[in-house]
Amino acid sequence: MNLPPQCPLCNQNVQVIRHLFRDCPIAQQAYICQGDAFLELKQYDSAEKSYLASVDIDPSIRRSKSFKVAL
């Protein structure tokens, strides 16, 4: 199977599993949304894991006002 060299979500980087789940900026937003959903469900441990996954992708997000509000 031939796959395009760019990620179909962000059009960056080589399309590899690590990029899809860790390095893609779209994945980072998905982890934040997932954390918000877990927070609403009062599943605090799962919310924390999702938020930490987004910080692992881009540590600079800690300085974001919207990220601080979510925490």
Chain CA centroid to CA 35, Å: 9
Parse the chain into domains and list their residue ranges. 17-59
Instruction: Please list the residues that pair with 14 across neighbouring strands.
Output: 6
pTM score of the predicted model: 0.65
Closest alpha carbon to 32 in 1, 61, 3, 2: 61
Q: pLDDT tens digit string along 22-66?
A: 788 888 888 888 999 999 999 999 999 988 888 887 787 776 665
Q: Are 10 and 26 in contact, with CB atoms under 8 Å apart?
A: yes
